[in-house]
Amino acid sequence: MLELIRHPWHWSVAGFLIGLTVPALLILGNKTFGISSNLRHICAMCVPANIPFFKYDWKKEAWNLFFIAGVVLGGFIANHFLSNPDAMVIAEKTKEQLASEGITQFSNLLPTDLFSFESLFSLRGFIFIVVGGFLVGFGTRWAGGCTSGHAIMGLSNLQLPSLVATICFMVGGILMTWLGIPFLLSL
């Protein structure tokens, strides 16, 4: 059984299991799924400021804090005890494309040339890590949720704002992949 868990599963199995969370949450407690809302709950719980955005009964959403704690704990267990023993496979064409942009070092799927503590102190690393993190946070707040909340929960509930947000996420990702990243890698 442990060997079954250690190796990557086909994307369709993981997608099906993630998809089951939507009806399970709705049927079991009329709850909606989303990860980014947890930051608001944590701020409302920990920051005793008189900010209207954080003045609500966060205790009603405490289940979501347990959910995110389970995500973090599950990630820790998977990384430390259930790591895939096989080397991560990256397509040769992808490696060649990245090498042409100066990215040659990887830790699993993460390019350490871009995402490491040392690269944080370079202009390129600062842009990718700090500016990119800010833009993700800003976009999540502006869109009223993250990709998981909109694409998984919102679309399954046929919410038009989630459809618009998901389309914008995809267009932004495609534009960044083909235009933004090559420009930033040339810095």
66 and 136 share one domain:
no
Cβ-based neighbours of 29, under 8 Å, separated by 6 or more: 63
**In the prediction, which pLDDT does 164 show?**
93
107 is a domain residue: no
149 is a domain residue: yes
The residue behind tokens 């990718």 is 128
**In the prediction, which pLDDT does 1 show?**
67
What CA–CA distance (Å, rounded) separates 9 from 6?
9
112 is a domain residue: no
**In the prediction, which pLDDT does 22 show?**
83
Q: How many domains are contained in the chain? A: 2
101 is a domain residue: no
C-alpha angle 25/35/18, rounded to 5°? 50
10 and 81 share one domain:
yes
**In the prediction, which pLDDT does 73 show?**
95
70 and 13 share one domain:
yes
**In the prediction, which pLDDT does 170 show?**
93
pTM of the predicted model, to two decimals? 0.74
Q: What does pLDDT average to in each consecutive run of 10 residues of the chain (187 residues)?
A: 75 87 85 81 82 85 88 89 76 86 78 82 87 89 85 88 92 91 83
31 is a domain residue: yes
30 and 73 share one domain:
yes
What sign has the CA pseudo-torsion 68, 172, 95, 89?
A: positive
- Which residues span the domain enclosing 126? 117-187
**In the prediction, which pLDDT does 94 show?**
85
121 and 71 share one domain:
no
**In the prediction, which pLDDT does 70 show?**
92
Q: 102: phi > 0 → left, psi -120 to 50 → alpha, else beta; which?
A: left
39 is a domain residue: yes
127 and 56 share one domain:
no
